[in-house]
Structure 1
Amino acid sequence: MIVAPAWLTELASKAGDHPVPAGLRPPPDGTGRRAAVLMLFGDGLEGPDILLIQRSSKGRVHAGQPAFPGGGVDPQDDGPIAAALREAEEETGLEPGGVEVVGMLPELYLGHSDNRVTPVLAWWHTPCAVHAASPDEVETVERIPIAELVDPANRLRLRVRGTALSVAFRVRGLLVWGFTAMVLDGVLGAAGFEVPWDRSRIEDLPAEIVELAARG
């Protein structure tokens, strides 16, 4: 019998206990496109890791940004779980049969693209080779060790649009910020992985990233 690690199943069981940050609360009127992302954890060479993609810099929305695999829930999808697995397969070549879904986090709202996003928590019990299977949408695919994400040397806050501060991670040549960083920050803390880091380390969002983000 395939069993996900206790920290992940416990995280899934308590998903509803953590309040949704004000900036990510879905509109009460139900507007927004339904979407889902796959938060796929696995057991890598350096301990637990998570699958991330870097979106194509040629895209219109969220161009060049590191993200979880995912996308819109299509009519033929049987809900967010099916959508997250389908999108991950299309974007990375992931084999869904090697994945055990353990739960879902509360729906979050991504105002920039008007998406109501359901993060799907899953365990990669039988890893397979992954790659940028949809080059028009994805530039790179990475398995990022949790140890690197929580390393204080890789953590910072970004000054966005002059004043707003956002948590961020600088790992494997990627600057993970925005929605993806906020969700990762919350999940890593809830799972007990987070270690103290210097929150006074603040940098401006690089100009080239600001330019890409402005496309949407």
Structure 2
Amino acid sequence: MRPKVSDLFAPVAAGLNAPGDPTSDFELNPGVFVPSTAKVRPAGVLVPLIERNGALNVILTKRSSALKHHPGQIAFPGGKVDPSDADATAAALREAEEEIGLPRDNVEVIGYLPTHDTVTAFRVTPVVGRVLAPFELRPEAGEVAEVFEVPLAHLCDVGRYSIQGRRWQGRTRYYYTVPWGPYYVWGATARMCRVLADRLAP
């Protein structure tokens, strides 16, 4: 029997209520990379969950290679909190509408993951939301190269995660990865996904 949509989201909502510490790009690189002394800028990203054939998928984007921050990387829709945004949740919903065409009134916020500090001096609030109805994808030209979906079950399988490293600013930086097909999900996005996986682990 196909699960009811409400049944699919209930375990996610329950897992989001668990306590947890903030994460950062620095935790795998102690003493090598340190947080910037510059002012940390608040940001919000949406973790959009959509029901597909009795299961949940996560919507992700591939950022344009022309962007200043994190070009070409896999990311959740989102961005910095603008003065017009009430908070990080408002920023995440606004950016998702601008970046992929997901109307903000088509999202039910079901919870949050711990904040994540990036090497680019953003403090990101991951907002987990249920997409209420199908919508027409409209990738924002110049910012979003692709929009795709990954099964939540894939991202919640901790065995699919690994820690890898690459040279950055003359030193080796370590980070989480969780590849999906041709998409190399790594860094802050993979770390936030790993937190979600840990929250939903049986």
Q: Tell me the TM-score range normalised by the shorter chain.
A: 0.7 to 0.9
Please show how residues 159-198 of structure 1 align to structure 2 within 5 Å.
Answer: 159-161=165-167, 163-192=172-201
Selected match of 1:52 from 52, 60, 64: 60
Task: Please tell me whether residue 148 in structure 1 is matched to residue 154 in structure 2.
Answer: yes
TM-score, length of structure 2 as denominator length: 0.81
CA contact (8 A) 2:23 2:114 kept: no
Q: Deviations over 1:39-81 (max 9, x none)?
A: 1112123721111000001112100000000001111111111
- CA shift, 1:34, in A, is 1.1
Query: What is residue 30 of structure 2 aligned with on the other side?
Result: none
Selected match of 1:128 from 135, 143, 162: 135
Q: CA RMSD in A?
A: 2.8
- CA shift, 1:167, in A, is 2.0
Name stretches of at least 5 consecutive residues in structure 2 with no aligned partner.
28-33
Please show how residues 47-86 of structure 1 align to structure 2 within 5 Å.
Answer: 47-86=55-94
SS in 1 for 2:58: strand
Give me the identity figure in percent. Answer: 32
The 1:177–1:46 alpha-carbon spacing in structure 2 relative to 1, beyond 3 Å, is farther
Name stretches of at least 5 consecutive residues in structure 1 with no aligned partner.
194-216
Query: What is residue 200 of structure 1 aligned with on the other side?
Result: none
CA contact (8 A) 1:13 1:103 kept: yes
The 2-side partners of 1:78 and 1:53 are apart by 24
- CA shift, 1:116, in A, is 1.2
SS in 1 for 2:138: coil
- CA shift, 1:154, in A, is 5.3
SS in 2 for 1:171: coil
AA in 1 matched with 2:150: I
- CA shift, 1:150, in A, is 4.7
CA contact (8 A) 2:112 2:127 kept: yes
SS in 1 for 2:51: strand
User: Deviating runs (4+, > 4 A) in structure 1?
Assistant: 22-27, 150-155
Selected match of 2:21 from 19, 22, 31: 19
- CA shift, 1:188, in A, is 1.3
AA in 2 matched with 1:190: R
CA contact (8 A) 1:131 1:140 kept: no
Q: Deviations over 1:73-117 (max 9, x none)?
A: 111111111110000000001122221001222322112x21111
Task: Please tell me whether residue 117 in structure 1 is matched to residue 124 in structure 2.
Answer: yes
The 2-side partners of 1:46 and 1:58 are apart by 37
Number of residues paired by the alignment?
A: 188
Query: What is residue 210 of structure 1 aligned with on the other side?
Result: none
CA contact (8 A) 2:81 2:91 kept: yes
TM-score, length of structure 1 as denominator length: 0.76
